[in-house]
Amino acid sequence: IDYFQAPLLTKYRVLFTERLSELLKHPLDVESLNSIEKSAKLKVLLAEDDPHIAKLIKHSLEREDFEVYCFYDGESAMEATKNMNLKQTPVHLFLLDILLPKFHGFEILELIRQLPVTRDIPVVMLTAMERREDFERAKELGANDYIGKKNFSPLELPQRLKNILNPDDVHSSQK
């Protein structure tokens, strides 16, 4: 391994061991490095009707190498979920508000858990609805986490989402 490849190995060894070993068999070029950078992003489908909060979340996640697909109403988020093809656009996590125009986050969560292509993808509810019964309903429907907006920290959100995600989710989408 030459000096150029060693830092790259160190940086990506946890998530991309197989991909790197394949690349190291051939000389590394700029295009190969760009493909590694692109594949390193975790993809999140965000359904949030408040554009200011959506922008804050998107900015916070993108700073930590997430790619965020924003939907501002339940209907567009439902359509995106129904039409999802994980081989073309893998989504590693859904981040849903509950109070959305046209369809509620609970309805989207139910759809996610019904579709074979999305049923195993983690779902986090991020909402102003902080009643115990809403939390319990989200858990019953299969949400992996529930974050109240009163206690929401955009700086902590990326790490919280990374803690929920299994590294195999990222790795398997690369195959």
Query: Tens of pLDDT along 139-169?
Result: 999 999 999 998 788 999 999 999 998 655 4
Side chain identity at 60, as an amino acid letter? S
Residue 105 in contact with residue 74, Cβ under 8 Å? yes
More confident residue, 7 or 81: 81
Rounded to the nearest angstrom, the gap between the alpha carbon of residue 87 and the centroid of all alpha carbons in its chain is: 15
Query: Tens of pLDDT along 43-102?
Result: 999 999 999 999 999 999 999 999 999 999 999 998 888 887 655 667 999 999 999 999
pLDDT at 174 over 80: no
Sign for the pseudo-dihedral over CA of 170, 32, 66, 48: negative
Structure tokens at 92: 């590693």
Residue 36 in contact with residue 16, Cβ under 8 Å? yes
Q: Which of 2-11, 55-64, 105-114, 163-172 has the lowest mean pLDDT?
A: 2-11
Three-state secondary-structure class, residue 73: coil
Q: How far apart are CA 158 and CA 94, in angstroms?
A: 13
pLDDT at 26 over 60: no
pLDDT at 5 over 90: no
